Amino acid sequence: MFSKVLATAGLIASLAINTVNAIPTIEAVGAKFFYSNGTQYYIKGIAYQLTEADPLIDTTQCQLDAVSMEALGANAIRVYHVDPSADHTGCMKAFADAGIYLFVDLETFNTAIDPDHTTWNQTMYEAYAKVMDNFQAFENTAGFFIGNEVIALDNQSLAAPYIKAAARDLKAYRNSKNYRSIPVGYSAADIAQLRPMLQNYLACGNNASESIDMFGLNAYEWCGNNNLQTSGYDILNQYATGYNIPIFFSETGCNTVQPRTFEDQSAIFGPVMNGIWSGAIIYEWIEETNNYGLISYGPSAAATAVATNTNIVAGISRTGTPLPVTPDYSNLQAQWATLTPTGTASSAYTPSLSPPACPTSTAGGWLVNGDVALPSLGQTLSTDASGATATATATTSSAQSTATKKSGSNGGKEIAGMSAGLVGVMLGFMYWL
């Protein structure tokens, strides 16, 4: 009898895993993403981080949000911070059932690469690997970000080899564990002075094991009634032409002109750009005081409500039935409904793009000169007094990262509209934004 119970339990567990994983996987081939069935995958994503806590552990909330996202037309979420020790099965199944894939950042609050005190060490590596260990098991995990806006100012490009070193080591770890080849990439701040050097540097070189697998750009240039030329997207398109790995907008959704009409989506998914770009992730799901949200979970609450309701943070309800923010939600829904590029079948795609040339350094601009040797695990960036040159010096492998929140380069979207009190509450929460 006991053996039958064990067999039944094993069958139930197996069925549960298969249910979670009953979705085609995503892979990067050349400059495109493909479903495992051979159809090209275009990202229609939403930035999803309800609080600083892991948003992928509340199964009920994920189920509610997944239904609303599916109705919106989304097929991806981006999550900036997770707890690698938590059970994510329920949420990942909820999103898989809705056809929604996950792009997740590997960094944690105290292990992100810091451009001002730059290192890549064993503590950071192990923390990133734990996130990969947890999420590689889910078939709807589509990609890992090695960092988000690590380089946020035009004088911080000396940190780029450390980003690349992190990608190198996590890709090697992925392969050593025989995990699925989930792409490892980077999400960049849109810094005009570093275009296109940063994106090219991270993909350059003859050794693919040292390059990122995908590149995301956080761009907020297209505001209101714009077009390719007036928004500057024509320049972004020019720089992305011929890029050898998938490139997409890892954040977008300017809100300086309201309501948001998301007209940039018609360009991104239209014939001028969809042969080059792989889609976009809209910032963001939940409505906060910065006015980027697509839904809310009810009206703002008084600060005193925090004492009696743990689901309220900084006066914002973080759980409940998602209520569309009007008209932003319906505007995006209408845009995505008409934008369905078919792309290329993987069977008809033979990528022949070469990696870009590694950019040379320029005075007062890009500071990394060519295809420099990457730092090894346990090295720290050391600059001279002027900060113009750099060498790598070894440190103990267990050194702790001292990452801090970097300055925003996209017009300060993270703090726009926040009260002084809210900023105080959010200080520990801001790094992933």
Q: Which residues are catalytic?
A: 149, 251
- Other beta carbons less than 10 A from residue 394's beta carbon: 11
Name 34's bridge partners: 27, 40
DSSP string, 193-243: GGTTHHHHHHH-SS-GGGS-SEEEEE-----SS--HHHHTHHHHHHHHTT-
Sign, Cα dihedral of 326, 327, 328, 331: positive
Q: Which helix (H) or strand (E) holds 278?
A: strand 277-282
Which one, of 281, 182, 223, 210, lies nearest residue 411 by Cα? Answer: 223
Q: Which helix (H) or strand (E) holds 155?
A: none
Residue 285 CA to residue 65 CA, distance in Å, equals: 9
| Inter-CA distances, 420 with 55, 239, 271, 312, 429, Å | 25, 39, 44, 18, 15
Residue 205 CA to residue 347 CA, distance in Å, equals: 27
Q: Where are the alpha helices (DSSP H) in 43-183?
A: 59-72, 89-97, 122-135, 160-176
For residue 70, whether the previous peptide bond is cis, meaning omega lies within 30 degrees of 0, is no
> Residue 317, class by beta-carbon neighbours within 10 Å (0-12 exposed, 13-18 middle, 19+ buried)?
buried
| Inter-CA distances, 322 with 52, 65, 72, 282, 326, Å | 19, 6, 12, 16, 12
Residue 357 CA to residue 371 CA, distance in Å, equals: 9
